[in-house]
Structure 1
Amino acid sequence: MTKTKYLNKLSQVSQLADIPAAELRKLEEVEQRYAFRSNEYYHSLIDWNDPQDPIRRIVIPHKDELERWGQLDASGEHNYAKTRGLEHKYPDTALLLTSDVCGGLCRFCFRKRLFMADNNEVNRDVSAGLEYIRNHPEINNVLLTGGDPLLLSTRNLETIISELRTIDHVQIIRIGSKLPAFNPFRILDDPDLLRMLKQYSLPERRIYLMAQFNHPRELTPEAVQALTQIREAGVAVMNQTPLIRGVNDDAATLTELLNKLSYMGVSPYYVFQCRPTEGNSAYTVPIEEGYQIFSEAISKCSGLARRCRYSMSHVSGKIEVVGMTAEQIFFRYHRPADLDQNPGEIIACTRNPDSYWFDDYMDDGPAAVANCR
């Protein structure tokens, strides 16, 4: 079995031994506030001679994370918590927070609060969440997330999936995971995982793997092989990525990522506006700049690669950016949390190049609201 060592402290990263002492102290200060975790396989993808290497930016702390900006729960997920470890935001979809561990911690993570000592949102005992789902027949879609569900043992993951399969109204099971990028050997070296997925991914009730590849260099031969085996087990594979400053915030890189995924049979699903989570200022691109990058990128993609949407997971729902003119930017609710919201309605706002989130178009109160309708 192939092993990759997990690293939970910056002091374990030998490649950082030669950086200036003052810089290292800053990174350790970041580590004290926001947890660090990575592994040797993922570090092998980094060009350590390049301080701006995009893979390095994904997983190695940066001093700018200390800038006070954003909030820990930028999308108000706590508003939709129905029992510990379960969120129910959209009528037909429930989220089970099954794990508080990841194969690596993305520096721009929107749930970094889960990895803080005083957080208790995750519940590894999912029995209360399963009971809630049983009692809500409108739920036909359950997303296992966290943390990373694929870091559960196969036995524990199978227990959850098998229980969900006893609930008749649950048609789709989704597994949100970055492990195919962080450590594909979790898949390659566990035939029991593939057997289990094949058993429960049924012809009319599929399991979906919601992968997260942020940069084309993550699509190594090992990662491609892991995704191939997942697909051969009957699991549909989708990809979603935020747009990240210094990682994929240029059209050529994003085009390459979306095209490569589509060539493999992995459907690009969402390109997300990076959430204004605390500590994320160095990783976030303004909405209008991001939409321009996205638009240029998909213009060079095939139709299969350009099915993804540029969206933000706002407290009020998934809001898609659908276009811009010289003076206005246009949004629509791809998925409103409020059923009274018309998902077909176009929201036109006066452009603001300094906006990082939908709320920024509303910050000036009634006058701003009048400019968005």
Structure 2
Amino acid sequence: MEIAISPHLLASANDYVAAAAVFPMRANNYVIEELIDWSRAPDDPIFRLVFPQPDMLQHDQLQVIKNAMDRDSSRIEMRDIVEGIRNLLNPHPANQKQENVPHVNGQPVEGMQHKYRETCLFFPTEGQYCHSYCTYCFRWAQFTAVGSDQQFQSKDVQQLVDYIKENRDLTDILFTGGDPMVMHAHQFSRYIDAILADPGTEHLGTIRIGSKSLSYWPYRYVTDPDSQEMLGVFEKIVKSGRHLSIMAHFSHPVELASPAVQEAMRRIRNTGANIRCQAPLIRGVNDQASIWAEMWRKQTRLGAIPYYMFVERDTGAKHHFEVPLARAYEIYKEAVSSVAGTARTVQGPSMSASPGKIQVVGITTVPTASGPEKVFVLRFLQARNPAWTKEVFFAKFDENASWLSDLKPAFGEKEFFYESQYRELVQRPGSSGQLFPLTGSMVARV
């Protein structure tokens, strides 16, 4: 396929190269040839999703890298410059390395995160990359230093099974990465077979797979050499009596338009699996209510379930992609009000912050003794302490706020209702940020 590159892109090529020195970039021929409308680049939404943009860096950061390129700096010097910039970009948001990794008998359980009582995350070693990388990805640091301590990963099948067996409150496990669907079917089946074969895991009712493969490489389920084998693994999970949910990342309606993705979704659903769709709200990509409404309608028509609208996390190029919470709420309400009830399964806008997933429920004005006060109405969709999900709480309205840390308690309160307990939780010696007990006495092999 011949691609016509606009003169504007060619003129600013060094800027894009500089941005790609800091942020990971990976694209395949499906994304390049079938998703990107090159006549619209650099304003095409998929181009913005896949190619690191110069404005993702602060002006002075961009200039430092370009200057280093101009003087033909050594690889070591360039690496030190790039790593210095990356370290300023909060590479592990929501304290996930400090607060989400479970500890058993004082030892960290490798390749796992367990933030919410019923759900744990597992990062298989074989799934430590994606078919293409999203510029907004909150796990961008996973892909910048392969083999470094930036990565969560494990291939210890027995440890995974033991952990599930010892934590009887677990009902869901999420395979994530990277992307588990870059794995060969026999690699993925190694984990699944071990879970299904052990009678001690009967309390695990749902297996989730977090994947962007439907968007960026739907041929994974259609023409790849092991596509039928992978679909067979899905069928095996469903036949075991478990629920299988593909947590699909669709950021724009164009990702749902090709015959390949629609056939892939049909084949997945034929295994008995469900497809749940989620994405963050990204400025310059999908920050219009009409885009979300169109996306939810298409997902529902294809038999998928609209699930989450996220707020861009406080990591990486947040300044470039973020949408203020007030605007995010308006986009969500306008979009959800224009679709049928079958598409109103979406929860959002939601911030995946350190204490939990916090939803902006509304914006309202409340009469008080000192006069009316405009507030955000908030609630936990998930929380480190499940009891927090029972509460509604309020923050002062701030039209510029884009993250939890920007918000202040309303009505003269000094802090939000959960904060003292959260501080106590994360300050406990050896704490992994969990309020729920880790039962049993398994010792993590590290």
Measured at CA, do residues 16 and 71 of structure 1 come closer, stay the same or move farther in structure 2, by a change above 3 Å?
Answer: farther
Is the 2:375–2:410 contact (alpha carbons within 8 Å) kept by the matching residues of 1?
A: no
Measured at CA, do residues 366 and 73 of structure 1 come closer, stay the same or move farther in structure 2, by a change above 3 Å?
Answer: farther
Letter in 1 for 2:190: T
Who is 1:304 aligned against?
Answer: 342
Matched, 1:188 2:222: yes
- Structure 1: state its 5+ residue gaps: 6-12
2: distance between equivalents of 1:266 and 1:55? Answer: 21
2: distance between equivalents of 1:22 and 1:242? Answer: 31
Q: Pick one of 200, 204, 213 that aligns with 1:170.
A: 204
1: distance between equivalents of 2:195 and 2:330? Answer: 41
2: distance between equivalents of 1:35 and 1:16? Answer: 22
1: distance between equivalents of 2:412 and 2:289? Answer: 31
Matched, 1:274 2:264: no
Letter in 1 for 2:378: F
Map 1:13-24 → 2, pairs under 5 A: 23-24=12-13
* Aligned structure 1 segments of 4 or more residues deviating by more than 6 angstroms: 365-368
Taking every aligned residue pair, what percent have the same amino acid on both sides? Answer: 30
Is the 1:64–1:281 contact (alpha carbons within 8 Å) kept by the matching residues of 2?
A: no
Who is 2:78 aligned against?
Answer: none
Letter in 2 for 1:208: S
Q: Pick one of 39, 46, 49 that aligns with 2:36.
A: 46
2: distance between equivalents of 1:282 and 1:75? Answer: 19
Is the 2:157–2:194 contact (alpha carbons within 8 Å) kept by the matching residues of 1?
A: no
1: distance between equivalents of 2:175 and 2:11? Answer: 41
Matched, 1:35 2:27: no
Is the 1:350–1:371 contact (alpha carbons within 8 Å) kept by the matching residues of 2?
A: no
Matched, 1:145 2:173: no
Matched, 1:128 2:128: no
- Computing the radius of gyration from Cα coordinates, the structure with the larger value is 2
Shift of 1:47: 1.2
Map 1:40-79 → 2, pairs under 5 A: 40-44=29-33, 45-50=35-40, 51-67=42-58, 71-78=90-97, 79=99
Q: Pick one of 383, 389, 398 that aligns with 1:343.
A: 389
Who is 2:357 aligned against?
Answer: 318
Matched, 1:352 2:398: yes
Structure 1 stretch displaced more, 161-170 or 211-220: 161-170
Shift of 1:320: 1.3
Is the 1:350–1:372 contact (alpha carbons within 8 Å) kept by the matching residues of 2?
A: no
Shift of 1:19: 5.0
Who is 1:110 aligned against?
Answer: 138
Alignment root-mean-square deviation, CA: 2.3
2: distance between equivalents of 1:30 and 1:342? Answer: 40
Letter in 1 for 2:382: R
Who is 2:246 aligned against?
Answer: 209
Who is 1:10 aligned against?
Answer: none
CA deviation vs aligned residue, 1:226-281 (integer Å, no higher than 9, x gap): 01100001111110111111111101111000111111110101111111212232
1: distance between equivalents of 2:335 and 2:193? Answer: 40
* TM-score between both structures, scaled by the size of structure 1: 0.90
1: distance between equivalents of 2:384 and 2:210? Answer: 20
Who is 2:277 aligned against?
Answer: 239
1: distance between equivalents of 2:318 and 2:5? Answer: 22
1: distance between equivalents of 2:194 and 2:265? Answer: 25
Which secondary structure does the structure 2 equivalent of 1:307 belong to?
coil
Who is 1:8 aligned against?
Answer: none
Measured at CA, do residues 245 and 133 of structure 1 come closer, stay the same or move farther in structure 2, by a change above 3 Å?
Answer: same
Shift of 1:74: 1.8
- Structure 2: state its 5+ residue gaps: 59-84, 103-108, 366-373, 418-446
Shift of 1:125: 3.9
Letter in 2 for 1:358: L
Measured at CA, do residues 125 and 36 of structure 1 come closer, stay the same or move farther in structure 2, by a change above 3 Å?
Answer: farther
Structure number with the higher helix fraction is 2
Who is 1:218 aligned against?
Answer: 255
Measured at CA, do residues 275 and 92 of structure 1 come closer, stay the same or move farther in structure 2, by a change above 3 Å?
Answer: same
Which secondary structure does the structure 1 equivalent of 2:344 belong to?
helix
Is the 2:3–2:38 contact (alpha carbons within 8 Å) kept by the matching residues of 1?
A: no
Shift of 1:34: 1.4
CA deviation vs aligned residue, 1:265-311 (integer Å, no higher than 9, x gap): 10101111111212232111111111100100000011111111111
